[in-house]
Chain A
Amino acid sequence: HVRYRMEASCLELALEGERLCKAGDCRAGVSFFEAAVQVGTEDLRTLSAIYSQLGNAYFYLHEYAKALEYHHHDLTLARTIGDLLGEAKASGNLGNTLKVLGNFEEAIVCCQRHLDISRELNDKVGEARALYNLGNVYHSKGKNVASAGTHDPGDLPDDVKNALQKAANYYEENLTIVTELGDRAAQGRAFGNLGNTHYLLGNFRSAVLAHEQRLLIAKEFGDRSAERRAYSNLGNAYIFLGEFETASEYYKRTLQLARQLKDRAVEAQACYSLGNTYTLLQDYEKAIDYHLKHLVIAQELNDKIGEGRACWSLGNAYTALGNHDQAIHFAERHLEISREVGDRSGELTARLNLSDLQMVLGLSYSTNNSMMSESHVVENSFNGTRPRAGRRHSMENMELMKLTPEKKSSRE
């Protein structure tokens, strides 16, 4: 009788945990699952389900170390009781968690196990989900290596390209299956991530096609967050196709939806993207307008990095308009913030911007640092035609001009 009571209470606690997680309250759900584990059960399948749900709850709460621990317990248990389907699921969840933690090689092993078992069990749904997870791991792996350097989309080392190409292949395989299954939601997810993978590979036309499909499915479901994501990704792709007008239209839709969804951080990002797009269109007044909107939200959200970027962008835009007083004001603010957040490269950029502006104004700007005198030397050797490599971030955009010859000619 005591054992029965214990079993019942473990089960009841777990069922309450399930209910709470389904209702979206993972924090409370975790408490009930933890209590259920404390009470204990002799039914190992029940315990496995509790571990799995604890792992997922911690995953959604972004507590990945704990998620890893519980999915690992689940995997061990599933193997112990010879539950093959349970093992596949635990492997997939473990793989996703390892991916987020940046352990890509182990993540691949786990996701591959999920795939192998699903195929062995002839489980098409599981197979498709494992393929999507594998695509995500390779995408993250590629992006992670790429971000260690300073690469633009399409300009990548071989190992990055290989990882991204693998990701694209897995998404394509996933799409084949979920299309057969008629699973539109899964198609939407695969199109979105496939589009982003093409974007990183520099296949901007393919990226557009994939994101257009994603957009279509988002609208079918009335999923406004997904719709907003698609607009934003479409904007990014059109920038690199050199179609800045089209990009601005998509970013405007992103902004519209961000406001509807009352997501201030996303709204700030959309304003920032629009500011940059109008800079590319050389409409500096509009650029300033959007960068100021971005600045206001960054300050409101206490996002120092965003604020620094806004000041830097505003400094550049005011420089372009020849409004040097405002340019200096924002360049100084950029310098202050870069120091505050310990952004060394931002600090260097800000100093160079300031020294350039002082040159223009013929000021002898007094700062008590050795950087200034060094930058004077740089200035004097700067012949005004070939910028020094790594001189400043904005130089990278000289590369962008190669993509957009029509812009190049209009700049003369």
Chain B
Amino acid sequence: SQPLSGHQAAELQSKVVPSKQILHSDNMEMEPETMETKSVTDYFNKLHMGSLVYSCTSKRKNK
């Protein structure tokens, strides 16, 4: 094959630019998701829990 002319060599150099695809589509920094939260203490029937806690602690005292 023939070597490129000086003009073509310059052309080769001028083409050297980073890819936009690689440059900027895969490093976008997103904010985190927010998940909804539940807690057993939100839902647990307080009265029921009170009696449970009582029964637990009284048992422990009896031991």
With a cutoff of 8 Å between Cβ atoms, the chain B residues found around residue A360 in the complex are: 3-4, 9, 12
Bound-state Cα–Cα, A78 to B39, Å: 14
Task: Give the Cβ gap from A297 to chain B, nearest Cβ, in Å.
Answer: 14
Tell me the bound Cα distance from A303 to B9 in angstroms.
Answer: 33
From A146-154, A158-166, A332-340, the one touching the partner chain is A146-154
A68 interfacial contact with B, CB 8 Å: no
Q: What is the distance, in angstroms, from B53's C-beta to the closest C-beta of chain A?
A: 8
Contacting residues, chain A, for B15 (C-beta < 8 A)? 387, 392, 394-395
Measured CB to CB, the nearest residue on chain B to A275 is: B18
- Asked if A45 contacts B19 (CB within 8 A), the reply is no
Specify the main secondary structure of chain B where it touches its partner.
loop
- Cβ-neighbour of A4 out of B4, B12, B23, B52 (below 8 A): B52
Q: What are the residues of chain A within 8 A of B35 when measuring CB–CB?
A: 56, 59, 92-93, 96
A376, B1: Cβ atoms closer than 8 Å? yes
Q: Pick the contact of A189 from B21, B32, B40, B48 — CB < 8 Å?
A: B32
Residues of B contacting A186 in the complex (Cβ-Cβ under 8 angstroms): 34
Q: A18 — nearest CB in chain B belongs to which residue?
A: B39
With contacts A360-B9, A360-B12, A393-B19 taken as known, whether A49 is within 8 angstroms of B40 at the C-beta atoms is yes
Note all chain B residues with C-beta closer than 8 A to A139.
30
Could you count the A-B residue pairs with CB atoms below 8 Å apart for me: how many are there?
178
User: What residue in chain B is nearest A86 (Cβ atoms)?
Assistant: B38
- The answer for the CA separation of A8 and B14 in the assembled complex, in Å, is 74
Within the complex, the shortest CB–CB distance from A86 to chain B, in Å, comes to: 7
Of the candidates B13, B24, B36, B39, the one whose C-beta lies within 8 Å of that of A93 is B36
Q: Which of A43, A150, A193 contacts B45 (CB 8 A)?
A: A43
Q: Give the distance to chain A from B57, nearest Cβ to Cβ, in Å.
A: 10
Whether A319 contacts B34 in the complex (CB less than 8 A), given A8-B56, A152-B21, comes out as: no
B44/A320 in contact, CB under 8 A? no
Residues on B with C-beta less than 8 A from A48 are: 38, 43
- Is A400 part of the contact surface with B, judged by Cβ < 8 Å? yes
A313 at the interface (CB under 8 A from B): yes
The interface residues of chain A lying within 8 Å CB-to-CB of B45 are 43, 45
Knowing A49-B40, A96-B33, the reply to whether A280 touches B28 (Cβ < 8 A) is no
Q: Are B27 and A269 in contact, with the CB atoms below 8 A?
A: yes
* Listed residue (A11, A114, A146, A357) with the most chain B CB atoms within 10 angstroms of its CB: A11
**Which of B7, B12, B28, B42 is within 8 Å of A233, CB to CB?**
B28
Q: Which residue of B14, B33, B39, B49 contacts A133 across the interface (Cβ within 8 Å)? A: B33
| Best-surrounded residue of B8, B18, B56 (most CB of chain A within 10 A) | B18
CA distance A147 to B42 in the complex (A): 42
Q: Is the CB of A317 within 8 A of B16?
A: yes
What DSSP secondary structure best describes chain A's contact surface? helix
Taking the closest CB of chain B, its distance from the CB of A92, in whole angstroms, is 5
Q: Nearest Cβ in chain A — how far from B56, in angstroms?
A: 5
Give A30 Cβ to nearest chain B Cβ, in Å: 15
Please tell me which one of the listed residues A93, A236, A275, A359 contacts residue B1 in the complex, with CB atoms under 8 A apart.
Answer: A359
Asked whether, in the complex, the Cβ of B12 is within 8 Å of the Cβ of A7, the reply is no
Contact residues of A with B, CB < 8 Å?
Answer: 1, 4, 7-8, 11, 14-15, 18, 43, 45-46, 48-50, 52-53, 56, 59, 74, 86, 88-90, 92-93, 96, 100, 114, 126, 129, 132-133, 136, 139, 146-147, 150, 152-153, 186, 188-190, 192-193, 196, 199-200, 226, 228-229, 232-233, 236, 239-240, 269, 273, 275-276, 279-280, 309, 313, 316-317, 319-320, 322, 356-362, 364, 376, 379-380, 384, 387, 392-401, 411
Q: A89-B36, A384-B8 are in contact. List 12 more A-B contacts (CB 8 A).
A: A11-B40, A15-B41, A18-B39, A43-B43, A43-B48, A56-B37, A59-B33, A86-B43, A196-B28, A199-B28, A273-B27, A276-B22
**Could you pull out 26 A-B pairs where Cβ atoms are within 8 angstroms?**
A4-B55, A11-B40, A11-B44, A11-B49, A15-B40, A45-B43, A53-B39, A59-B35, A86-B43, A92-B35, A114-B36, A153-B24, A189-B32, A189-B34, A196-B29, A239-B24, A276-B18, A279-B16, A322-B13, A359-B8, A360-B9, A360-B12, A376-B1, A393-B21, A396-B21, A397-B17
- 10 closest cross-chain pairs (CB), A and B: A362-B3, A45-B43, A89-B36, A397-B17, A229-B29, A393-B19, A276-B18, A49-B38, A192-B31, A52-B38
